[in-house]
Amino acid sequence: MLKLLFVCLFLFFVVVFSVDPICPDHFVYQSDLNLCLFYRGETDSWSHARDDCLSDHGDLLSVHNTFQNNLLAQIQFNMTGENRCWLGAHRDQGNIWTWSDGTPLDYDRFFQSSKVGDCAYLDGSDRMWKITSCNEKHKWLCATNAIIPSTTAPPTTASDLGCAPPEQQPLYKCKKGWQYNPQTGYQYMVVIDQSYTNAESYCVNQGGHLVSIHSAAENDFVKNLCCTSACQTSHNNLYAFYLTGGIKTNGTFIWTDGSPFDYQHSICETDGEDNDIIYMMNFQGCNLCGQPGIWQIFEATLKSRV
């Protein structure tokens, strides 16, 4: 990407729907989580709290990434006036922590302490999950899925941006803000002019990582986040390309988000034996690598779109 544009990949359940999502009675839609939330206004044990949620066809909250955790800490305080609210996390008879709603426990923020218990609450003061007795009394929020009248979203194409022909297209005409991909369930955002280290730090602070790519369709989605330019438009003598989360470690490429390296797009060339970062080209012509969407390996010090 030229200035290097980097793309953050973020599991972020915000979708732009054709009509407003519908929540059951008493529930309020929370767009950043794509969930309906309800606060009863009571304080009670974990089992009573969960029974209350089930009676309204919901369940206690589950948390699956840092963004959700931080957001829920603020939401629970705004809705209840308290920093401590029950989570759906509980320990089963096999001494294994699970979510009451049946979703996988793929993220955790358990606070290490000597306190004994089989249930947990989210402490908004430090955003940690505190283990405690299920008989303790805390407030709680119930969550249920929104009813979505239409979730069909067209694939992202560069034409959505009103791009000019590449030879007339200035750099950095890109989609603004988070862009949802219904095929992957992830959000993507383009940020301009960052080095690899700064770009990954920025994405982590947003609750995500530099983009990982797992199919040709996802590669096309990322490519189409910005208009394709040509070789007469450059920044610091660089053409347009994206910085990704692909990095070589011990001679093998991995993604910084920890997902499997299970797809490799066409690679134009590697610019030196010591280079170890995957970039995606987004320019046309100029040289053999001037093919939008093709990958190239560079050093980590370049700046680009992420």
pLDDT in tens, 49-102: 999 999 988 999 999 999 899 999 999 999 999 999 999 999 988 789 999 999
Q: Which residue has the higher pLDDT, 300 or 154?
A: 300
Residue 252 scores a pLDDT above 80: yes
- In whole angstroms, what is the distance from residue 60 CA to residue 102 CA? 11
Domains 4-9+153-305 and 28-145 share a fold: yes
pLDDT at 3 > cutoff 70: no
Q: Is the pLDDT of residue 128 over 60?
A: yes
Overall average pLDDT of the 204-221 stretch: 85
CA atoms within 13 A on the CB side of 145: 6
Cα angle value 200/204/210 (rounded, 5°): 45
**Geometric angle at alpha carbon 208, from 99 and 245, rounded to 5°:** 125
pLDDT of residue 209: 81
Hey, where are the domains in the chain? Answer: 4-9+153-305, 28-145
Q: What is the pLDDT of residue 41?
A: 92
**Is residue 140 scored above 70 in pLDDT?**
yes
SS3 127: coil
**What CATH number belongs to 28-145?**
3.10.100.10
pLDDT at 85: 97
* Average of per-residue pLDDT across 155-182: 76
DSSP secondary structure letter of residue 226: B
- Return phi, psi of residue 70, to 5°: -65, -40
Classify residue 199 by burial, with Cβ atoms within 10 Å: 0-12, 13-18, 19+.
buried
For domain 4-9+153-305, say whether CATH 2.40.50.220 is its number: no
The pLDDT value given to residue 153: 44
Non-local CB neighbours of 69 within 8 Å, separated by 6+ positions: 63, 107, 109, 122, 127
Of 176 and 215, which is predicted with more confidence? 215
One-letter identity of residue 209 = H
